[in-house]
Structure 1
Amino acid sequence: MQNNELANRVIELRNRKGFSQEFLAEESGVSLRTIQRVENGETQPREDTLQRIAKGLGVTSEELIDWKLEKNNSYLALLNSSALSFLFFPVLGILVPLVMWISKKNEIHNINKTSKEILNFEITWCILLFLTCIGFISINFYRVQTASYITPSLLLNPIIFWLIICFLYLFNLVIVLYNSFRLKAEKNVLYFFRIPFLR
């Protein structure tokens, strides 16, 4: 983002709230000189400074920098659909959207929030898939180790394992497709099953 664009945004928000530069400096916990330099377009503030100024203005840092970013729901839908690469290999569902996010970070409106939601979901899904595989192997290993003799009925039925794996893949597929349709309809993604690793 250009310094002048950020400067205009800070001035606009500060004036809208009726804040003086001194009051904004006090609210955000940065020096008056820093506020003046940002508003004059003399500097590109560090991430922590940007977050403090945004907090002082009562907005998020994304709202502060996203105001003039390109709106491109088609790219967001494509980014979301790229998570379908998990069908080829689970970790690709994380890596492909991550690369797409990094390549357009801070260029497209709402890309940071959308990308974090997608990645949080895919990371959570990969962990669940990994734990399912480890759990199945561990239970069978334990049963073999504690049994005096091995019979086929001693091992957990692999059909159960494959049913769980198929369910996990189908669940991921449905959720990704559902959110692709939401993005094409200009709505935000809705990944309700995820651990917020990226905030």
Structure 2
Amino acid sequence: MEDSGLQKRVKDLRIKKGLSQEELADKTGLSLRTIQRIEHGESVPRGDTLKRLSIALQATPDDLIDWQVQEDKNVVKILSLSQLGFLAFPLLGIIIPLAIWILKKDKTKYVDSVGKSILNFQITWTIVLFALYVFFIANMIFHLQIIPLSMLSVLLIIGGLYLYNLIMIIRNTILVNKIKSVKYIPAIRFLS
């Protein structure tokens, strides 16, 4: 059985509460042998057993299991750089960071807050980009001439938008590397 540290936490909490294994067995309604197996790492409590132990030891199941949020700067850097997918296709700048955020937000420190900032910015950026595409296409098809635009000015506007996104990614990845707070602007708060 893999040693997850759970058996040590159960034993430490039992001793801290001044309980013997027999008393813990009585309080939980579990057998003495089950308590012994848990404390020796021969058995990992799940479901009802975990719930009974947490109630008897006046702890939450998370305290017993010890779901620690790890600090891994590399995951946050990968999350930040994953936005570069927008260069291939704008929606990839949302989809790739979203997948990493969903998988790591509860397991790695800073991923939740940085991920929300990234996603808010990338969603905003993508909406602006697609709105500009629609405006430029409508302007060409219907000859609206609301704003007289040449093909060069359209390319410069779109290119500038891409360049701004790239600069924000590079700037904030450097800040993540220095463990400083990131700032993506402008960003509509879709996730808070």
TM-score by length of 2: 0.64
Query: Which residue does the alignment assign to 1:137?
Result: 137
- 1:3-152 correspondence to structure 2 within 5 Å: 40-41=58-59, 68-143=68-143
Select the residue among 161, 177, 184 that pairs with 1:184.
177
Deviating 4+ runs (over 6 angstroms): none
8 Å CA contact 1:77–1:183 kept in 2: the answer is yes
Aligned length: 139
Name the aligned partner's letter for residue 173 of structure 1: L
Query: Which residue does the alignment assign to 2:42?
Result: none
Q: Percent identity?
A: 34
Select the residue among 158, 163, 167 that pairs with 1:170.
163
Distance 1:180 1:108 in 2: 16
Q: Judging by fraction of residues, say which structure has more helix.
A: 1
Specify whether residues 69 and 42 from structure 1 end up closer, same or farther in structure 2 by C-alpha distance, changes over 3 A only: closer
Distance 2:155 2:129 in 1: 11
TM-score by length of 1: 0.62
* 1:54-85 CA-partner distances (Å, limit 9, x unpaired): xxxxxxxxxxxxx9411112210111011011
Distance 2:68 2:149 in 1: 57
* 1:79-133 CA-partner distances (Å, limit 9, x unpaired): 1011011000000000001111112120001211110000000000000100000
Which blocks of at least 5 consecutive residues in structure 2 are unaligned? 1-8, 14-53
* 1:166-195 CA-partner distances (Å, limit 9, x unpaired): 000000000000000000001121112100
8 Å CA contact 2:68–2:107 kept in 1: the answer is no
Name the aligned partner's letter for residue 178 of structure 1: R
